[in-house]
Chains A and B, each alone.
Chain A
Amino acid sequence: MAVYEQTYKPYTGKLTPEWSRFLIIPRHAYRGVFSSKLFTAFFIICFIPLLVEAILIYLHHNVNALGIMRVNVRELIPIDAYFFQTFVNLQGGFAFFVALLVGPPLVSRDLRNNALPLYLCRPFSRTEYVLGKMSVLLILLSLITWIPQLLLFLFQSYLEGFSWFASNLWIASAIFIGSVVWILLLALLSQAISALVKWRVVASGALLGIVFIPSVFGEVFNNIFLTRWGSIISIGALMKSVSAGLFGTFVRESGHLRITDINDNVTEIILREPPLWCSWAALFVICVICLALLARKVRAYEVIK
């Protein structure tokens, strides 16, 4: 179908492998995402904590620099699991805001413009579509979470020596698993909301609401019933527990309460966080619900029975 011929001509060239076609979606999506200067600036800001982390690791090992500053950073900020956990959690916060900006319009825009039949009439399945849309977020969020964190872990290992690397390899797995669980959850949540709500602003609001409103209710529940089980409905609290479990800092007993009644009887209550497996199970249930919603909504045409 060359321009000069102006006739219909079939394509007889080579085709790309089927497994790689879901990556077409993120490649085209990034053109739109990074066309916003505001978003690009925010994305660059996301790397500042990583820079601070890198500087702290460097200073930790640079005796001259420590001498000049007359600060014993080694004692002030030990480079251990807690150090990495703090930065992983911080980057998780940035990841949430990136997901809030990029995620909501991904599916909703296609639904609003009836674009799904155009995707699905090609050798491109619904699974590939969802995978492609999720990849937009997964790749972006990986760039600010586990990839740089693992590089910094390797940097610390390089400066500290192989024995430190060997004995702290579990920290690397905690960084990877903790970050991947969080970004996967964010990607699934934003896609499911995006598939349910066709308008970007409403979808962004819904994502904010899903993360923060249950936390408020959970805290209210905790304070009324003097328990910590209300955290089971808070996505933030669930991720905090899972992250703490992975980094070995999880403690079930999170506080003590002393209650004095009118007869001056003192009752001591130990507040216990829900067990770790409950947090994992709750996250799993959230992911299954998101996948079920996507399976229901991502169709070429919705059949009204």
Chain B
Amino acid sequence: MKKKIKIKLNGKLKTINNKSTLFNIVRKNKIPLAKVAIELNQEIVDKKKIKNIDLKNNDKIEIVHFIGGG
């Protein structure tokens, strides 16, 4: 059985396969990459490099976009 790790994605706890990359998360959640910004543990991530970013236990990912606001 594959080892699992726990991460937080936009504040929600998720259990994912060990050795998942940030790209796997983006693809699985159907995130439109051109319309978002991504933070990993409060550091902004270069969207071009997400295939090379392996996730670790307790990583915190924030994916944000523009919404209506004043």
- Our verdict on whether A and B bind, yes or no, reads no
